[in-house]
């Protein structure tokens, strides 16, 4: 028996998408339009199977209050908002009006625009404002996918914003394999390496790094 994760060849990945993901048509159209507008954005656009996993985790945790750092064109925000209950809220942080403007009509079309509280500012500023506003412990679910060099800073704030038992997801933690490339010494790669080791050694959370898409860390805030 192999202890290795099965490598997703192109045909196997197509198969996974065919039998393992129920992507709502509105999500599919948003993803298609995003890739038409920004063809090189694959790293910023979460994969459909990630959207399915994230939505399932929102349902599983019974989350009502969610936060996302790094909206891009709003695919993950839409997936999360669709999974939140009717009175749920997603605080969505991004600095780009241009990117998020593409997603907003899709959010409204899907009937979940009212659940998404878009904050156009650096995510750290928004998270600090939420803490100053008394939202510590208020959130059930946090998805981190913005500036890689800020991951550790987002993470500390996310831990403060989360209730005990709340879930943090962190995207791109395998960084296309650059985390184990000795020649890769750019700031993003260094930050992700340092972040992964920080979370591994952090007794405040339980964690699992899931090799889905570009790597997704799940960390649960311990009581």
Question: Does residue 150 interact with Ca ion by CB under 5 A?
Answer: no
The closest alpha carbon to 220, from 132, 119, 141, belongs to 141
Question: Does residue 100 interact with Ca ion by CB under 5 A?
Answer: no
Residue showing the smallest CB distance to Ca ion in the complex:
171
Question: Does residue 140 interact with Ca ion by CB under 5 A?
Answer: no
The residue (of 64 and 191) whose beta carbon lies closer to Ca ion is 191
Query: Helices in the chain by DSSP H: which ranges?
Result: 10-20, 25-37, 48-61, 75-83, 97-109, 123-132, 151-161, 187-200
Kindly state the number of chain residues that form the binding site for Ca ion, as judged by CB under 5 A.
3
The residue (of 118 and 138) whose beta carbon lies closer to Ca ion is 118
Question: Does residue 172 interact with Ca ion by CB under 5 A?
Answer: yes
Residues 6+ apart with CB under 8 A from 169: 54, 57, 141, 142, 143, 144, 216, 217, 218, 219
CB of 181 to Ca ion, least distance (A): 19
| The two three-digit tokens of residue 67, written as one number | 């936060």
Among positions 171, 215, 216, 219, the unique one binding Ca ion when judged by CB under 5 A: 171
CB of 76 to Ca ion, least distance (A): 8
Question: Does residue 145 interact with Ca ion by CB under 5 A?
Answer: yes
Cα gap 118→71, rounded to integer Å: 9
The residue (of 136 and 184) whose beta carbon lies closer to Ca ion is 184
| The two three-digit tokens of residue 76, written as one number | 């993950």
Residues 155, 194 contacting (CB under 8 angstroms): no
Binding residues for Ca ion, per CB under 5 A? 145, 171-172
């Amino acid at each position: 028996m192999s202890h290795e994760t099965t490598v997703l060849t192109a045909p196997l990945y197509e198969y996974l998408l065919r039998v393992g993901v129920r992507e709502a048509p509105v999500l599919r159209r948003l993803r298609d339009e995003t890739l038409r507008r920004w063809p090189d954005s694959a790293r910023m656009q979460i994969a459909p199977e990630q959207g399915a996993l994230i939505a399932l985790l929102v349902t599983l945790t019974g989350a009502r209050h969610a936060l996302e750092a790094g909206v891009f064109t709003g695919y993950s925000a839409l997936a999360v908002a669709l999974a939140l209950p009717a009175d749920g809220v997603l605080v969505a942080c991004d600095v780009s009006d241009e990117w998020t403007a593409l997603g907003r009509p899709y959010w409204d079309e899907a009937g979940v625009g009212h659940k998404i509280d878009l904050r156009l500012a650096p995510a750290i500023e928004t998270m600090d404002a939420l803490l100053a506003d008394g939202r510590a412990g208020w959130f059930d679910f946090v998805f981190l996918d913005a500036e890689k060099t800020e991951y550790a800073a987002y993470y500390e704030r996310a831990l403060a914003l989360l209730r005990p038992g709340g879930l943090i997801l962190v995207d791109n933690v395998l960084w296309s394999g650059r985390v184990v490339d000795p020649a890769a010494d750019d700031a993003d790669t260094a930050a992700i390496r340092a972040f992964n080791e920080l979370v591994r050694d952090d007794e405040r959370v339980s964690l699992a790094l899931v090799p889905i898409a570009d790597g997704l860390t799940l960390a649960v805030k311990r009581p």
